[in-house]
Chain A
């Protein structure tokens, strides 16, 4: 049933219209008195001496990479979680199978997790 998703799309569209209305309303009604110092980036009152977009700490990229690894793993957990209850209640053997399967998967991931931990990837300092 694809059209059960349509209301979400409609709400997205309405939200976009809201956003556009608010933004343009302000532009139409609001004052327009500009001067160069008003349009300067805020630097706590001192003039800007260098560029604003400086290089950032590499740790942010590290976190992003770790996130992708663990997020994909979460994506694997979801289908398992959906069928688990039905399978586990059908027979003891299936329950054992489903449980050990995921235990092995999580343990394998745990090895990687411990490695990353030991490499101090989670320590910000």
Chain B
């Protein structure tokens, strides 16, 4: 196995960019959530640290680090300590297979007597363009169950245990709906590669001979059902309200992280926001055209890449705001309603949509 130095460096640059973006998500989202909730509840929210409370997140981080690190006497010490890190792994890694901009050509140039990018080289803005992209996403998404369940069990606390058990049942139930909803998209694309999924959504199509719409999956007449299933399942996967039964502060104190304090708690907090960001990126890629700019053909240059990357970030940003918006708008469901909804409504809906898309393709409508 030979490595090309340019490839390795480009790869490391991509990893650095992605990690920088992902680590920013938590402070920004913590601010957006607190100020957003304040806005929706007609109160000021955090406004003392920095302009508009913008530095609140840094103050919080400092406090998290300086607080006492408690390991409860009855807890399983190793698993209790490892659980937050286990939760962080999938949340931070999922984004690796998601493309975040239009590929562009790096022209051959000479720097300090060495020829760089010989004969031109394509820069594909995705950390790992693997052929089974979507399977990696789901593999890592199901991995995130372990962090929460381990935390719940290892804490040796009734509230934690209930939170962890509930979360595992909820997440595996909705994972089913999630994977099945994605099958519809794969049917239309004919590939598991996420870069192919985005390429398939570039360009436009004409609806009813009048409207010229971007070829995004969400706008396709056969796909909106699976879009609804996927978004709702994404909420359940990331344990966000109205499906936050892993925490359920009103019933379970704080659910699986009742016993966690200081930085260990902060890691769960980070993992939750990063999981939200990766989920938003996956939704944007599968249904909202990824980095595609509507009614515009991005040139294969650095400018085209930059514009498309900005558009991708804007889409993810909107979805993240949507998460916050829903959280402060819809109250928590009851657990039996949650399970019934997942198995009796969303599962059949996903199946119906698969048959619908398959039928559409067989009739050569899409």
CB-CB nearest 6 A-B residue pairs: A19-B85, A124-B336, A26-B263, A85-B190, A15-B92, A39-B73
Among the listed B65, B180, B191, which residue makes an inter-chain contact with A25, where contact means beta carbons less than 8 Å apart?
A: B65
Contact check, A5 vs B128: say whether CB atoms are below 8 A apart: yes
The majority secondary structure among interface residues of chain A is: helix
Number of A-B contacts (CB under 8 A): 213
The majority secondary structure among interface residues of chain B is: helix
What CA separation (Å) do A16 and B271 show in the bound complex?
A: 12
A-B contact pairs, 12 of them (CB 8 A): A4-B129, A7-B128, A8-B96, A19-B267, A30-B263, A39-B72, A52-B74, A67-B175, A74-B176, A74-B180, A84-B187, A99-B362
Indicate whether A10 reaches chain B with its CB closer than 8 angstroms. Answer: yes
Indicate whether B104 reaches chain A with its CB closer than 8 angstroms. Answer: no
What CA separation (Å) do A117 and B348 show in the bound complex?
A: 12
Contact check, B340 vs A122: say whether CB atoms are below 8 A apart: yes
User: How would residues 320 to 356 of chain B score, 1 for a CB under 8 Å from any chain A CB and 0 otherwise?
Assistant: 0000000000000001100110011001100100110
For B183, what are the chain A residues with a Cβ–Cβ distance below 8 Å? 74, 77-78, 81
For A30, what are the chain B residues with a Cβ–Cβ distance below 8 Å? 65-69, 262-263
B: interface residue count bin = 35 or more
Known: A70-B176, A77-B183. Contact between A86 and B340, CB under 8 A? Answer: no
A: interface residue count bin = 35 or more
What CA separation (Å) do A34 and B259 show in the bound complex?
A: 15
Contact check, B158 vs A27: say whether CB atoms are below 8 A apart: no
Which segment, of B33-41, B115-123, B164-172, faces chain A? B164-172
Which segment, of B44-52, B149-157, B217-225, B279-287, faces chain A? B149-157
Q: How far is the CB of B145 from chain A (nearest CB, A)?
A: 11
Return the chain B residue nearest A60 by Cβ: B169
Q: How far is the CB of B281 from chain A (nearest CB, A)?
A: 14
| A-B contact sample (7 more), CB < 8 A, given A26-B67, A30-B262 | A11-B127, A12-B93, A18-B92, A23-B85, A43-B157, A52-B158, A53-B156
